[in-house]
Amino acid sequence: MYNYLLAFGYLGISFSAIIGAFRYRRADAAMRILIIQLLMTAVSESVNFLLLVKKNYTARYGLFHTSSILEMILVSAYFIRLLVPGKLFKKLLIVNIVIWISVGTLNIVFLQPIDTLNTNLLMLESLGINTMSLYTIYWMLKKDIWNIFAIPHFWVAILWLLLWSSTFFFWAFIKILYRGNWQYQNMVLNGQAIINIIVYTGIALILFFYPKMKKFENR
Q: Sorting pLDDT into bands at 50, 70 and 90, what band is 219?
A: very low
Q: Dump pLDDT digits (tens) for 118-148.
A: 989 999 999 999 999 999 999 998 887 778 8
Does position 117 have pLDDT exceeding 80, yes or no?
Answer: yes
Nearest alpha carbon to residue 15 among 213, 152, 212, 199 = 199
From residue 126, alpha-carbon distances to 19, 113, 115, 153 in Å are: 25, 20, 21, 18
How many Å apart are CA 45 and CA 42, to the nearest integer? 5
186 CB burial (10 A radius; 0-12, 13-18, 19+): exposed
Q: Delineate the domains of the chain, giving CATH numbers in brackets.
A: 2-217 (1.20.1070)
Nearest alpha carbon to residue 41 among 22, 15, 61 = 15
Does position 175 have pLDDT exceeding 70, yes or no?
Answer: no
Q: What is the mean pLDDT of the chain?
A: 89
* Ranges 63-77, 122-136, 156-170, 174-188: which has the least confidence: 174-188
CA dihedral 112, 122, 58, 97 (to 10 degrees): -80
Is the pTM here over 0.85, yes or no? Answer: yes
Tally DSSP H helices, then E strands, for the chain.
9, 0
How many Å apart are CA 87 and CA 96, to the nearest integer? 15
How many Å apart are CA 201 and CA 15, to the nearest integer? 8
Q: Dump pLDDT digits (tens) for 190-204.
A: 888 899 999 999 999
Chain centroid to Cα 171, Å, comes to: 14
Does position 22 have pLDDT exceeding 80, yes or no?
Answer: yes
